[in-house]
Amino acid sequence: MQLSSDFFGDWLNILKDILQNHWGYDISGVSEEELPYVYFNAEKRRPDQRIRSVEISDAFACPVDFQAGWERLKIIIETGGDITPNLSKLVDRLNNKDSLLNDWGIHHFHLGETLNGSFIKRTGSLLFALVTKDKFYAINIFDHSAWADQDIVEIVHRNWPDVVSQYQIKNVMSTTEFSESDKLTLRAKNTNSFFTVSDGTVYAPIGGGVVSSGYNVQAIMSTDQQRSLLKSLEDNLQSRLVSLKDTLYQHGYSGEEYIKATLEITDSKYFAFFPDYNVAVILLDNA
């Protein structure tokens, strides 16, 4: 019995479905080679819908004009609603790369009170926040030109050092000081740089950093890891075919040399589905 499968190709089709049918992107011009990077870029920019608790920094001060908008957004965050409408409209552009997010891991949110189409009414000042799986760390309200304001990382470091500790560079002292203008220039050229806060702690890019194409380093690594995982799952399934033979016989297998299998993924499990016999087996359970 020989397995006939292309799990990596199946995974690409799953990504295509999410990009097109769930997020509404036009991917007609995206090559299969670039598709995973495009997907991870979009996924990073769009925090998923889930309940998150809100933590406020010691510097947080919301102007009266934006208080109602902030309270509205806070309710959505804490009840697991969709916070995408408060993001930049550029989130709808598939190939847009958020340099603030890729460098420092920071999202920015508009604080309007009403929807204008698919997005909340735009505001000149923005809420900058660090968003994790279960927390929304509200840093402060900044104006629309604060993309490289050093206070952003200073506030995160002072309030939540444990959250970003994995990005600290130990036993290193930085002697290079970058101005805000320097930082923006480096980002525009897809160049990564360390950042030193006032107490001397040095950080690598908290957002993961980028490669020369502008895609996040984590997107490249995640693609490579997924390719390796799917190859190992295929190899493992091939080794299990003999033990699955009785089950397949019960569902119509009659000695065919090649057994077709496709990949299916749920929130916590990877399955192999044998379409000719309507049989599915668990490959990986992350529950």
pLDDT in tens, 122-136: 999 999 999 999 999
Confidence at 267, pLDDT banded by 50, 70, 90: confident
> What would the pLDDT profile of 198-208 be if each residue is shown by its tens digit?
999 999 999 99
**Interatomic CA distance for residues 172 and 178, integer angstroms:** 17
Mean pLDDT, residues 244-264: 95
Average pLDDT, the chain: 95
Per-residue pLDDT at 287 exceeds 80? no
Beta strands in the chain (DSSP E): 2-4, 53-56, 107-109, 115-116, 119-120, 126-131, 135-142, 168-169, 195-196, 202-203, 258-260, 262-265, 269-274, 279-285
The residue count of the chain comes to 287
pLDDT band at 174 (very low <50, low <70, confident <90, very high): low
Q: Over range 74-90, report the average pLDDT.
A: 97
Judged against a pLDDT cut of 90, whether residue 172 lies above it is answered with no
Confidence of residue 84 (pLDDT cuts 50, 70, 90): very high
The pLDDT value given to residue 170:
87
pTM (two decimals): 0.91
Average pLDDT over residues 64-80: 97
Q: Indicate if the pLDDT at residue 19 is higher than 70.
A: yes
pLDDT digits (tens, 9 = 90+) for 28-64: 999 999 999 999 999 999 999 999 999 999 999 999 9
For the residues 219-244, what does the mean pLDDT come to? Answer: 96
